[in-house]
Structure 1
């Protein structure tokens, strides 16, 4: 019988992933990572629901204290990013450094299991021509989470299973009901667990970063108002700037050295290119010549056509067919060829 360790958050998606594999005859072991220090729905309630699910299915349940790993790789990573004027994307970092890697290590070293599974909406296939595991978008484009998985390595993809990749969220709920799972009607969690635990990203950041007043200026440097900390702003932001103007103002730059928030028109917030570093090439090997692709620069945005130009230092330059609004340093730029995720990296500051 095939053994598999399933990451359980206590939500309906991971519950159905575990129940599906169990129904298919896998020897399933549940594993929950304790990530947050203090109370938080994503951890305290999640661990209880995960334990309850394992009891329902009659499978073992392990809890691993990963709070220090989460603190170092996510909390500290976020705080240092916002302090430096970028808007970090914690989810992809969390998947690689906190979830998949440690999950696989615990499964192999402690349990002697070489296969792991999660409730992510994405697909994996092996390409015989390139001899690489390819990461594909989920069938349900509205729930597709491949964007957050671009940093997974070939070693991890080779032993990972995504049971939900070929179904819709509605089908997941239906399966949960058919299995009689207590999580069948559980509401979806926030995209970011820190918001659930702290109420808002602003509240979370204010616990770690002392608000420091500075100027809000236009592109010419004219002072228009005051802010209480650049970590309260992100490029492309319109709401909450607090400046009256004849036309809507958007954040177009954050200057941590001068502690300034720079605002301008929507056109000022558009860019025709950007530099991307910390690349992880997933479904293809690193290109040495320019290629055409589609790129997604935010989780909730559509992919757009782009020229990908490799640079000498291992970074790439993206040249968009049309200028893009709100390209944000610290966020991920993830490259696709249709449904196949080619690779991705982090957008750099100018």
Structure 2
């Protein structure tokens, strides 16, 4: 008898190919997570499940998404931070929903179409071209011990090819690049519709000189250089956001480099805890760029000291610490 696994089936090509790969060795149950926005996702996921003759269910995650992702997303922007909703959703909404179904059907394992690997409760990078370990780095060990990532050894171009070879209905469906609950990508308009967003205020220089008017602090993020509408003797970049004064500070960008930062709420994966300085590489945003650093424990937080300055480490984003391909842990940039 094959072991059971619950797969998060999104209606996209990645999770569809993951389903087909898992079929070789597992009894696969498919779960679509419904956020209440309609669209073709549920129908596409159901079509994939039907084409593979797999059991299919949906879970309404709207309430959990609002509580654990949308409300914190809003609070972060109103406080001058730049949130990372997918990293919050994975441990608080997506994987708990998959595990809830797994427990009901007697499955030990859950799976998704992420490009990463999980081995013995340790999260590891996927192939370099598509690695998604950064966005998964808030998952605790208790979840990672029950997770499979069937695409961990594949690149996207291979997955597309497999989808066509398998005759999967969504083989040529475009990838979704936006935040799932803001499909048009206009997060500032989404925040405005929720109400109570900050009013326009002043753009100021580091010395306090007024340079112009901004549209509301929720329209800006640290390091931003486009869409400012301010002219001067040089190009301007956002170098600070001051919610208490409703100000956005602009500079020439020369003050954006940081060699140290403090991270809160560490989530340790490859180590039990950080008790002494540790040499790592660190990612400060969702890209393939890593740099050498030393991490040190500091009163329940993590001090990061980088070999070279990083441009605009952004409060609300995440720092992920690596030892080769293993995720040591992560923390929120404060």
- TM-score normalised to structure 1 length: 0.92
Distance 1:301 1:208, change over 3 A: farther
Whole-Å separation in 2 of the counterparts to 1:64 and 1:105: 10
Root-mean-square deviation over aligned CA pairs: 1.2
**What does 1:1-350 correspond to in 2, within 5 Å?**
1-22=2-23, 24-35=24-35, 37-39=36-38, 44-108=39-103, 110-126=104-120, 133-139=121-127, 141-196=128-183, 198-209=184-195, 210-300=197-287, 302-312=289-299, 314-348=300-334
Whole-Å separation in 2 of the counterparts to 1:158 and 1:272: 34
* 1:159 Cα deviation after fit: 1.2
The answer for unaligned runs of 5 or more in structure 1 is: 127-132
The answer for unaligned runs of 5 or more in structure 2 is: none
**CA deviation string 1:252-298 (max 9, x = no partner):** 11101000001112211111211000110011121211111111000
Task: Decide whether the 8 Å contact of 2:78 with 2:198 is kept in 1.
Answer: no
Distance 1:227 1:255, change over 3 A: same
Whole-Å separation in 2 of the counterparts to 1:67 and 1:121: 25
Task: Decide whether the 8 Å contact of 1:194 with 1:201 is kept in 2.
Answer: no
Task: Decide whether the 8 Å contact of 2:198 with 2:246 is kept in 1.
Answer: no
Whole-Å separation in 1 of the counterparts to 2:139 and 2:189: 30
Any idea what SS the aligned residue of 1:178 has? helix
Task: Decide whether the 8 Å contact of 1:275 with 1:315 is kept in 2.
Answer: yes
* 1:199 Cα deviation after fit: 3.9
Whole-Å separation in 2 of the counterparts to 1:191 and 1:295: 24
Structure 1 outlier segments of 4+, above 6 Å: none
Whole-Å separation in 2 of the counterparts to 1:180 and 1:290: 51
- TM-score normalised to structure 2 length: 0.96
